[in-house]
Chain A
Amino acid sequence: MRCSDEGRRGGVKELRDLARQLLADGTVDVVVGWEDSSRGARPIFAGTPEEADKLIFDTRCLHNLATYLNPRRKQVTDLGKLALVIKGCDAKAVAGLLREMQLDRERVVLIGVRCGGVCEDSMAPEPVALTPETVAPRCHGCDNREPHLVDHLLGEPRPEPPVPLLTLDERVAALDALTPAQLWEYWTAQFEKCVRCYACRQVCPMCVCERCVADKSRPQWIETASHPRGNFSWNVTRALHLAGRCVGCGECERFCPAGIPLAVLNRKLQRVVKERYDYRVADDPEVKTPIGDYRLDDQQEFIK
């Protein structure tokens, strides 16, 4: 496959060389990265040197592949030892899995790629030039364009991506300006669209529970029917369980077949956690999260 100038800057040749080497010397059984396909960029599980030659990295590679590290994904754990290609933002999810003891660091070789931002259209037939119209809003203000935690770091340092037309923070601010009644109306109408497929949960790299509360039927904490009551219950529970854990990759919103703006909800919770606990999700597994830590000076005025 042709390797474009853009691809060389992104380290695609290095990536393929490294993947071939890791597979050939038996360091790993499979390299998980991205390939070009009939549906644009998509995940590939390369198990042979020939398949390693299909690996790409460009602005369409927005999937957070850390979701494949979920220890309960049997079809992936069955493959043996993995090498996983990650961007800086994906490293936060890997750190989260390590922090929550869901991942054995020895089980995976992490190949980091320096990132200059991604677009929102993984399905474009060719790499997309980043403009305010095309750049993923989550790339705005990114503090992890060079992934940490990795065993190999590829690609040249990339320039900052352009500022998106509408940032997530602007959307949060617009909602913050609403009255509680308007806010209730807005989210109720959004959640009414939910078809309860749980795509948001399935793709989330941090949704790794052995048994999700939504799947429990005795007692039935969350009604499975897609009526407003059940939908509100599910969506609020999902969001709250990810407060202080969500890495902001936006995969939940991208996968939602109903078009619910979940990334805005997640960003709002990130901001609340930042304001109350001065915590921002980091790519350091040693940093304790608000939910996994107790401090005597934690704000607790809400306990009455």
Chain B
Amino acid sequence: MTEPLFLSHEALADLVAGLIAAGTAVIGPAPAGGPVIPGLEERQRPTVTGMYGTLEYREVRSADDLALGPGMPRLSLKQFFLPQNEALFAWKRRGAETEIHETPTTFNPRVVLGAKPCDVAALEIVDAVMNWEYHDELWNGRRAATTIFALACGVEDDHCFCPSVGVAPDTTKGADGLFTPVSGGFLVEATTDKGRVFLESYGAHFSAPPAGGTDEARAYREAAHGRVGANVQIDAVRVKDWIEHHFEDPFWATLGVRCNGCGACTMVCPTCHCFDIVDEEEGVGCGTRRRCWDTCQAGKFTLHASNHNPRADQIARYRQRINHKFAVYPVKFDEVLCTGCGRCVRTCQMGQNIGEILVAIDQYAQQTGEAPDTTDVAAPPAEVAP
């Protein structure tokens, strides 16, 4: 990490203006827009305890739009790397010939300023699957074109649990640098070459930290660690081990019964990355192949053409969500597919609380011991054992 530099609020405004003037898109948390009914003050979502949604990540027009304080954007940053829907290619038939117009996989440079560290860390976690058997050119193209400075988080509420899954409120995982709020502006550090180049290129906006600035930043970050640490206390390895060996445990039936299967948790999740590919005909002989966000919480997600569904009910689908995040992905990529942002908890109107569920699994694992139970799918049932 580079020595911290100071960026005053005024210098930030100049920096953003300069980037936009040079044709670089600037993305960051900003007050959520939306249509209003003329003549009536728009009644936005009701005030709901622990709910959020007054911010969204979007391309800003100036630093005035940026909301670099507390508050969690409704959707995560993933939409800028894996859009809700995107064209893969378009086709057009001309007689016997079919023209294919591929979507370009290089992108104009972009800068993300002030994203939540949990949202940025999620990008690096998802990088693993996007470069596993298949090298996803659209994802990687957007990643390469984007310089990201996260904003050290002051912790939102009781539903933040990043340390439980190996993330921290001031992590630089996935980021090119970090902003930490101090009096009059931010301390800015670069953690990658891309970040260092950025700070050098725009060096005129940065200055030496003011007296006491470094101490102030450290105190802010330590306070955040203290605040979030107690929220959800689990042993992620024990949770992983239990899930791996208890696929058929009756405990699962107690976890998914109230779930509606709406999938809102997966849409707001920074790490959920499943998509569906569809061909949309847009006229005679022409159309677009798109990929769209999909969710493992929908029955159709695993419905076979034969009409058999291996995940026949919500118990199985909810187990899948937990299993993929806290066992399958860690086993395959050595990363938990969760950054503890707490969005799924705040979003679920039925009260599903992933923090509470992880604690329950961890406690259940301790009570039932480490040994696989008799319902383990890996162990053959006694009556058919040789």
Question: Which residues of A come within 8 Å of B, CB atoms?
Answer: 37-45, 63, 67, 73-76, 78-79, 120-125, 166, 170-171, 174-175, 177-178, 182, 185-186, 189-190, 193, 195-199, 201-203, 215, 217, 220, 223-227, 230, 251, 254-255, 257-259, 261
Contacts and interface: CB of A to CB of B under 8 A. Distances in A.
Nearest to A137: B43
Contacts of A76: 257
B348 interface: yes
A150 to B, nearest CB: 22
Interface string B23-34: 000000000101
B367 interface: no
Interface stretch (B167-175, B181-189, B307-315): B307-315
A192 to B, nearest CB: 9
A215 B267 contact: no
A20 to B, nearest CB: 20
Contacts of B372: none
B345 interface: yes
B349 interface: yes
A223 B278 contact: yes
A125 B32 CA distance: 26
B104 interface: no
A89 to B, nearest CB: 16
A224 B48 CA distance: 30
B369 to A, nearest CB: 24
Contacts of B276: 224
Given A73-B314, A75-B256, A39 B50 contact: yes
Interface stretch (B218-226, B291-299, B329-337): B291-299
Interface of B: 32, 34-35, 37-40, 43-51, 53, 74-75, 84-85, 158, 253, 256-258, 260-264, 266-268, 276, 278, 280, 290, 292-293, 295, 298, 300, 312-315, 345, 347-353, 355-356
A45 B257 contact: yes
A199 B38 contact: no
B233 to A, nearest CB: 14
A202 B261 contact: yes
B314 A215 contact: no
B280 A220 contact: yes
B349 A121 contact: no
Given A63-B349, A203-B349, A198 B263 contact: yes
A33 B312 CA distance: 25
6 contacts: A38-B353, A43-B350, A74-B313, A196-B293, A217-B278, A259-B74
A63 B350 contact: yes
Given A223-B278, A225-B290, A259 B257 contact: no
A120 B48 contact: yes
Contacts of B293: 195-196, 226
Q: Which of A123, A190, A251 has the largest count of B CB atoms less than 10 A from its CB?
A: A123
A202 B126 CA distance: 28
B260 A224 contact: no
B267 to A, nearest CB: 5
A175 to B, nearest CB: 6
A170 B40 contact: yes
B351 A37 contact: yes
Nearest to B36: A186
